[in-house]
């Protein structure tokens, strides 16, 4: 998990990344790890015409990458922010691609918060997080009718603990396909 | 409920059922632990154990599980922080009628006030509970009253006695007969999660479940007549506002718009419900006319606008907004839609409630990264932090404005805390069976017995 310090250090950068959306990011991150991928869905293009690998696992609702590995469906946020982490943009672009290719599929984006702050304010903040993911997907060409958002605020923690690491896991948006 | 009570009076064996039921209550009841007895010189009062003469076997069995009314009255007064009830062991005599009161016994003990009482059995398993309040220095009786009660009204009568004593001595209406509503969450964050909307006596006793769901419940609030409540339920997988009877069968999903349906709060006249809807794209404050169901949009801003609450005169709403960059408290005049910011100290102020005087706010205030309940004088802008714990939220005022209940955490558990409005008296109400949160203190309710 990213420490919240490191996350907050990213904030200025993140705003820029959002505006740029799924396109390549030229910002130089002050951190060692994954800069956003420059050519987003490289892997997908050549494979596609071969034998149409499924975008979903056998259950029909778990999105997978070209090699069949489940895509990450949870995206994490800094404290009291609703700004996407640049490191997540490539994965979100893969979700966008899958949704573009599968117009019959829809996705529910849940927004969640950690327990700090008031419950109704967190309901609003969770909605903002879900909406940020939604607007990334729609600006990447996904039909908005394929997307629903719902905020659970702080009501459904992924980790019921009361520590920084539990909180970091709880500040999230989760994509569920149906 | 009324029907059950009527039955109980005629059929003695049913009382046994009632005893079992009240034991079931006790299991869910909140504990009450006084942690800080604030007032420097609390009023000294002696509440003598009531003489109980109940010859009916059924009543006697039922009474085994009930405390002496004097314990209920003394504990009510002690929780207010303004009274220091004398321990029974220190009393020199235990009078139960006026002829047995010797003022000198109580003057020696430097007791300012004396309460005596008794319970007598009547026919049909009903009882008469009576009390007398004496001014020891003035050597006179201040009040006396009696109530005809069934065994299930034992606690109601005792709380009403405490209300009368409190009002007689302090001049402020007592709120011991009021109720508290809260959410009891069990296994939250697991597949076995269970959320219960509960109502209990103000001392945490006699809890009962109003609604139970595997999905979250929050933001419960009382109608001003105390007969209905509104709350947010995720029972459909999405938030919706529910309106429900406290005692009757009525329950209705009032709103289920796209997005947030939150923060329902009744207007002081009970005719409107303020709420938050994000159906237009982002969270905005609305009011709904409960008669016509017509919605009126109050705020228009791209920021988060949430957590509305009414001024006592019903002419303004206060609410939380991050339109200035950070959550702060604002108010809006309903006649003009004129918006004004109210809090300026700190970078997180939210979920405010106005005191009955309309001049003071209580709200959630973050200081050094820690969430407290704070109080602010609107004219002078000064802030008083009332609670020293962390993650304090959801302040709700007692109907007489003297105490406030809030949610906090203690040893990793969600519990309720109560603090006097001057910050000096504190007690907490933990539950042994789960996390308790989202408290809402009822308005003054109609007396159960008279």
Q: Which residue has the tokens 């597949």?
A: B191
User: How far away is chain B from the Cα of A75, in angstroms, using its nearest Cα?
Assistant: 18
- Which residues in chain A have their CB less than 8 angstroms from residue B364's CB? 117-118
Rounded Cα distance, B128 and B388, in Å = 44
Nearest-by-CA chain B residue for A130: B259
User: How far away is chain B from the Cα of A121, in angstroms, using its nearest Cα?
Assistant: 6
Probe site for chain B from A11, A79, A118, A156 (most B CB atoms < 10 A): A118
Rounded Cα distance, B328 and B363, in Å = 10
CATH number corresponding to B2-170: 3.40.50.10070
- Which residues in chain B have their CB less than 8 angstroms from residue A169's CB? none
Q: For the stretch B385-417, what's the b/e string if a residue is b when 16 or more beta carbons lie within 10 angstroms of its beta carbon?
A: ebbebebbbbbbbbbbbbbbbbbbbbeeebbbb
Probe site for chain A from B258, B307, B412 (most A CB atoms < 10 A): B307
Cite the residue boundaries of each domain of chain B with CATH code 3.40.50.10070: 2-170
In the predicted structure, residue A71 carries a pLDDT above the cut 90 = yes
Positive or negative torsion for Cα B68, B69, B70, B72: positive
B269 in Cβ contact with B253 (< 8 Å): no
Test A160 with B188 for CB contact under 8 angstroms. yes
Q: Which residue has the tokens 């009628």?
A: B97
Q: Look at the domain B179-441 and name its fold.
A: Neuraminidase (2.120.10)
Helix H or strand E segment including A20: helix A4-20
In the predicted structure, residue A42 carries a pLDDT above the cut 50 = no
- Which residues in chain A have their CB less than 8 angstroms from residue B391's CB? 115-116, 162
Rounded Cα distance, A87 and A27, in Å = 12
Q: Which domain, by its residues, includes A61? A: 4-177
- Which residues in chain A have their CB less than 8 angstroms from residue B307's CB? 118, 120-121
Find the CB nearest A120 among B219, B238, B259. Answer: B219
DSSP state of B90: G
Here the CATH number for the domain that contains residue A106 is 3.30.1330.60
Of the pLDDT bands very low, low, confident and very high (cuts 50, 70, 90), residue A52 is low
Probe site for chain B from A15, A121, A178 (most B CB atoms < 10 A): A121
Nearest-by-CA chain A residue for B237: A150
Give pLDDT, residue A99: 97
The predicted model gives A14-41 an average pLDDT of 42
Please name which of B326, B332, B329, B362 lies closest in space to residue B347, comparing C-alpha atoms. Answer: B326
* pTM > 0.95: yes or no: no
Rounded Cα distance, B185 and B284, in Å = 28
* Centroid of chain to Cα B48: 26
Give pLDDT, residue B38: 63
Collapsing DSSP to helix, strand or coil, B233 comes out as strand
Query: CB pairs below 8 Å between A and B: how many?
Result: 84
A86 in Cβ contact with A14 (< 8 Å): yes
Test B216 with A149 for CB contact under 8 angstroms. no
Residues 6+ apart with CB under 8 A from B96: B48, B50, B51, B116, B117, B118
- Of residues B226 and A22, more confidence is placed in B226
Q: Which two tokens stand for residue A110?
A: 């849940």
Test B391 with A123 for CB contact under 8 angstroms. no
Please name which of B184, B152, B114 lies closest in space to residue B431, comparing C-alpha atoms. Answer: B184
Test A117 with B350 for CB contact under 8 angstroms. yes
Cite the residue boundaries of each domain of chain B with CATH code 2.120.10.30: 179-441
A109 in Cβ contact with A134 (< 8 Å): yes
Nearest-by-CA chain B residue for A125: B304
Nearest-by-CA chain A residue for B218: A119
Helix and strand tally (H, E) in chain A?
5, 4
Strands, sheet with A147-153, edge to edge from the N-terminal-most edge strand: A74-76, A172-177, A107-112, A147-153
User: How far away is chain A from the Cα of B189, in angstroms, using its nearest Cα?
Assistant: 5
The per-residue pLDDT for range B74-99, each reduced to its tens digit, is 999 999 989 999 999 999 999 999 99
Find the CB nearest A119 among B190, B219, B234. Answer: B219
- Which residues in chain B have their CB less than 8 angstroms from residue A82's CB? none
Q: Which residue has the tokens 């993650």?
A: B391
- Using CB atoms within 10 Å of the CB of residue B239, give its burial: 0 to 12 exposed, 13 to 18 middle, 19+ buried: buried
Rounded Cα distance, B273 and B433, in Å = 32
Rounded Cα distance, A169 and A160, in Å = 10
Q: For the stretch A32-56, what's the b/e string if a residue is b when 16 or more beta carbons lie within 10 angstroms of its beta carbon?
A: eeebbbeebbeebeeeeeeeeeebb
Phi and psi dihedrals of B197, rounded to 5? -90, 120
The per-residue pLDDT for range B254-277, each reduced to its tens digit, is 999 999 999 999 999 999 999 999
The predicted model gives B409-434 an average pLDDT of 89
Find the CB nearest B234 among A121, A125, A155. Answer: A155
**Which string of DSSP letters, residue by residue, matches B153-177?**
GHHHHHHHHHHHHHHHHHSS---TT
The per-residue pLDDT for range B330-351, each reduced to its tens digit, is 999 999 999 999 999 999 999 9
The per-residue pLDDT for range B273-326, each reduced to its tens digit, is 999 999 999 999 999 999 999 999 999 999 999 999 999 999 999 999 999 999
The percent of chain B in helix, strand and coil, each rounded to the nearest 5, is 15, 40, 40
Total residues belonging to chain B: 450
Number of domains in chain A: 1
User: How far away is chain B from the Cα of A107, in angstroms, using its nearest Cα?
Assistant: 15
The per-residue pLDDT for range B205-234, each reduced to its tens digit, is 999 999 999 999 999 999 999 999 999 999
Q: ipTM value of the model?
A: 0.88
């Amino acid at each position: 998990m990213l420490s919240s310090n490191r996350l907050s250090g990213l904030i200025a950068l993140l705003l820029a990344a959002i505006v740029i959306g799924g396109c390549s990011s030229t910002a130089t991150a002050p951190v060692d790890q994954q800069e956003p991928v420059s050519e987003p869905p490289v892997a997908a293009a050549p494979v596609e015409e071969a034998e149409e690998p499924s975008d979903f696992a056998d259950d029909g609702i778990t999105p997978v990458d070209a090699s069949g590995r489940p895509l990450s469906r949870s995206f994490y946020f800094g404290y009291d922010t609703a700004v996407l982490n640049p490191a997540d943009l490539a994965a979100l672009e893969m979700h966008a691609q899958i949704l573009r290719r599968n117009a019959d599929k829809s996705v529910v984006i849940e927004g969640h918060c950690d327990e700090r702050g008031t419950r109704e304010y967190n309901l609003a903040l969770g909605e903002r997080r879900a909406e940020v993911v939604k607007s990334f997907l729609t600006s990447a060409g996904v039909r908005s009718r394929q997307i629903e958002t719902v905020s659970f605020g702080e009501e459904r923690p992924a980790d019921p603990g009361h520590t920084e690491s539990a909180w970091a896991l709880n500040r999230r948006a989760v994509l569920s396909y149906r | 409920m009324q029907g059950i009570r009527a039955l109980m009076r005629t059929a003695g064996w049913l009382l046994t059922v009632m005893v079992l039921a009240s034991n079931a209550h006790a299991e869910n009841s909140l504990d009450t632990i006084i942690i800080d007895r604030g007032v420097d010189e609390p009023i000294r009062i002696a509440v003598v154990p009531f003489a109980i003469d109940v010859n009916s076997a059924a009543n006697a069995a039922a009474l085994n599980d009930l405390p002496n009314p004097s314990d209920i009255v003394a504990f009510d007064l002690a929780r207010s922080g303004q009274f220091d009830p004398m321990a029974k062991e220190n009393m020199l005599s235990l009078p139960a009628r006026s002829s047995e009161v010797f003022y000198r016994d109580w003057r020696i003990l430097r007791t300012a006030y004396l309460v005596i009482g008794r319970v007598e059995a009547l026919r049909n398993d009903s009882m008469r509970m009576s009390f007398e309040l004496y001014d020891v220095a003035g050597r006179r009786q201040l009040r006396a009253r009696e109530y005809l009660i069934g065994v299930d009204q034992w606690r109601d009568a005792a709380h009403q006695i405490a209300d009368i004593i409190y009002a007689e001595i302090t001049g402020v209406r007592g709120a011991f007969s009021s109720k508290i509503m809260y959410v009891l969450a069990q296994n939250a964050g697991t597949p076995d999660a269970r959320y219960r909307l509960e109502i209990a006596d103000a001392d945490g006793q006699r809890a009962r479940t109003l609604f139970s769901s595997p999905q979250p419940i929050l933001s419960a609030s009382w109608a001003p007549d105390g007969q209905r409540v509104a709350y947010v339920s995720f029972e459909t997988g999405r938030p919706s506002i529910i309106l429900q009877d406290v005692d009757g069968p009525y329950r209705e999903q009032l709103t289920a718009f796209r997005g947030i349906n939150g923060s329902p709060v009744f207007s002081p006249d009970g005719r409107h419900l303020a709420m938050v809807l994000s159906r237009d794209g982002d969270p905005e404050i609305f009011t709904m006319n409960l008669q016509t169901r017509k919605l009126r949009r109050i705020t228009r801003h791209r920021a988060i606008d949430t957590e509305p609450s009414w001024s006592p005169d019903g002419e303004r709403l206060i609410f939380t907004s991050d339109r200035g960059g950070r959550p702060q408290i604002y108010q809006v005049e309903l006649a003009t839609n004129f918006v004004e910011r109210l809090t300026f100290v700190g970078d997180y102020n939210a979920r405010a409630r106005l005191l009955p005087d309309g001049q003071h706010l209580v709200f959630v205030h973050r200081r050094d990264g820690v969430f407290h309940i704070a109080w602010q004088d609107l004219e002078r802008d000064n802030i008083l932090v009332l609670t020293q714990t962390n993650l304090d939220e959801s302040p709700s005022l007692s109907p007489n404005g003297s105490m406030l209940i809030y949610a906090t955490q203690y040893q990793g558990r969600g519990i309720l805390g109560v603090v006097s409005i001057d910050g000096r008296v504190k007690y907490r109400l933990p539950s042994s069976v789960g996390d308790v949160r989202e408290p809402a203190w009822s308005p003054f309710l109609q007396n159960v017995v008279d």
